[in-house]
Amino acid sequence: MSWSEAGEGEPPPEAGRRSFAMAAAALVAGSALGGLGGCGFALRVPPRLSFRSLALTGFEKRSPLADDLRRQIGAQVEVLDDANKAEVVLHALADQRQKSVVASTAAAQVRELQLRLRFEFRVVTPGGRELMPRVQLLLSRDMSYSETFALAKEQEEAELFRDMQADVVSQVMRRLASIRV
C-alpha cells in the first residue's frame, strides 16, 4: 500500500531527507567507532603509581600547580602533609611563571609576548634517598598582543598558563609512574 492509497497523500519531502540524513549519520558514527576499536584506540588514562603515599613539599601556599598535582595524584595514592609519614616526597625546587616581550613596534607598543612556565623538582624518600634526581620542565608559548583587546589577551594568557600547567602535571605523573620504591 502506498501513501496515496492510504488516503494520506504524499509524504512531505523533508521527511524523507531527514530520515536519510539520520540514517547516514548513524552509519558514519557506527563505522567510525567500529574502526577505532579495531585499531587499538583507547582513551588516555593517567599512568599508574607504584607507591601508596606521597607528600608535596616546597610549594608556595596557594600554588595552582600544587593543587593540580594534589588532585591528580590523590586520585591514585594518599597525599599527606607530613613528609616523614609519606612513602615518597616530591620536593618542588622552582615553580615560576614568566612573561617577556618578544616584539614591539617603533612606538614601543608590545606586539608579541612569550609566556614561560618553569618547574623544577626532585623525588626522595623521607630518609633522604634520591629516587629521581633534579628534573627541570620548561614550557613556553608565544602570544600576540594588542592594547585594543587587552582584556581578551589577559584571558588568553591565563588560558595558555592553564594549558601549560596541565602539560606539566601530566609530565610529572609520567615521571612519578617510573619510580619503583
What was the pLDDT predicted at 29?
Answer: 64
Q: Residue 84 in contact with residue 128, Cβ under 8 Å?
A: no
Q: What's at 46, amino acid-wise?
A: P
Grid coordinates representing 52? 601508596
Residue ranges of alpha helices (H) inside the chain are: 13-38, 64-74, 150-177
Record the pTM: 0.73
The answer to whether 89 touches 125, Cβ cutoff 8 Å, is: yes
pLDDT per position as a tens digit, 97-136: 999 999 988 988 899 999 999 999 999 999 999 999 999 9
pLDDT at res. 181: 79
Ranges of residues in the chain whose predicted pLDDT is under 50: 1-4
Per-residue model confidence (pLDDT) at position 40: 74
Which pLDDT belongs to residue 33? Answer: 59
